[in-house]
Structure 1
Amino acid sequence: MFDHLASLVVYQWLALSPESHLGAALHFFVMDVAKIFVLLVIVIYVMGLLRALLSPERVREFVRGRPDWQARGFAVTLGAVTPFCSCSSVPLFIGFVEAGIPLGVTFSFLIASPMINEVAAVILVGILGWKLAALYVGAGLLVAWFGGIVMQSFKPERWVEEYVWKIQMGQADLPEPDRSFAGRHRYAMAEVKEIVGRIWTWVLLGIGVGALFHGFVPEQWVSDHLGGDAWYTVPAAVLMGIPLYSNATGVIPVAEAMLTKGVAVGTTLALMMSVAALSLPEMLILRKVIKWQALALFAGVLAIAFTLVGWGFNVIA
């Protein structure tokens, strides 16, 4: 649906060629603007309904009464089976904070959710084989688990924006939810207006940067410059993945092209993880709920983890 809309706008109304750099960039921009904003509205609305139905106190007590490893395992598993993209970070983050879930556990979810999902796993098996699919999923689960632990050790609560805590404490300009459907609907719509109103400019900026890279940097160039087994190809792949906004499913064709060009498995996995979980749009949007210190720490932990995973698999291979 979104691809058809983008093709209609760019290739028919604007009469741009699909083969041109500008046409490819604008097609990416229009498609992702429509897709991400629809997804954001749906995710925020659904989470608003759930939060109005299930009180934060009940969720908090559920998590508080369990060991950290159980709460983290639940978060990583939930992230792996939900099809959220990285740009859903803001409503998910606020929902977890409001529920009183520790930030270290929340970060484990934020790492796992965009990087792993069942659709991507099935497509990976069909295109690249079950071994690479298992490697990718297993590495993603490990990074999500230990990445959240590292984040938690730095006590990131001090770097959360003030308005997020106000939402948790009920001080935001939102109506008090009641248990009727009409009341839950009003609460959810108020959260859609509140959150989308805060982040829409950041979403457009992030997608714009990703669209420029998508349209003007050829996939062939990426494959050519990441070939070989030199040590620097893995960190280079991680850095190259940052402006390439996509989800775990969308990056699979790029990974296939890289492997057919002789790019090492570890380097390919590092790029896939970086594209899915360390993209510039996610960083820009996540900045609206956490301060620069936490954002830099989050990006650094993931970059180091992806680099180590890539090196490790290249050695094994």
Structure 2
Amino acid sequence: MSDSIDFLPGRLDRAAPFYVAGHRGLVGSAIWRNLEAEGFQNLVGRSSSHLDLKNRDDVFAFFAETKPRYVVLAAAKVGGILANNTYPVDFLSENLQIQVNVLDAARKHGVERLLFLGSSCIYPKFAEQPIREDSLLTGHLEPTNDAYAIAKIAGIVQIQAVRRQYGLPWISAMPTNLYGPGDNFSPTGSHVLPALIRRYDEAVRAGATSVTNWGTGSPRREFLHVDDMAAACLHLLEHYDGPSQVNVGTGSDVSIKELASIVADAVGYNGDMTWDTSKPDGTPQKLLDVSLLAKAGWTASIPLVEGVRRTVEWYKSNATDLRE
């Protein structure tokens, strides 16, 4: 069966069961908030303590019971460079289990519309910038997170295979670096932006006059506020149907040094910053080409400085309840 199917994207039924896998995570919680704001009345979510997505039998039983019409697969084991480089088996195995179980159960139980969320790390380390969707599988991955990337690539291919074999209008979206309320600010498991927020906030609280960051500060990264990502997800579900994964980002990037300065300003840190060049930088640049997303009619709306300010406020307000 080809990808040409008798389905046109359109407004989703706000009363239909809508399962958000990973609804308590950074992305999933933002998607949940956005769907509530958009009038969805039958949202379904299960915490990992109530449903282990790595348990295939339990996942199939859950789908049989709840019968969701729509699904966003935002559940994943995620982490920064250190975590990915230290525990590659965990990132590969757990993400593959989650994806295969949810996608297979969704297919068996007739999910009409499904969005699989990946990561921009699926693209080759030295892909031409900005990175187009067709750069997938054209070069070597960044070694520090290749296991996670391979798992996400497998998810994209499974979505494409379902489209070909079963004709279902399922899609994939690949967000750039995300940040915002609900992020992981732990010292060992966080990505660069929340790690910087925690580091500079702790420096302010301790009265420190110098902060040392990893690497050279020269790599360039693109950052998207998670509320923008959530809005993009619903937009794609209602306006896009195609086999290619869709890049979701802002179309602009900053150096890590520039990001550190933005964070320092937002936190109120006025001391010195130094760089430990013995630590890895990761990919030199990772900027997504968002032409396909723009063609589908969506662009980001939250500027980085404003988004970081909001995130710092959330971090300070939730300091006692942060994930470790």
Shorter-chain TM band: under 0.3
Structure number having the greater helix percentage: 1
Q: Which has the higher strand share?
A: 2
> Structure 1-normalised TM-score?
0.22
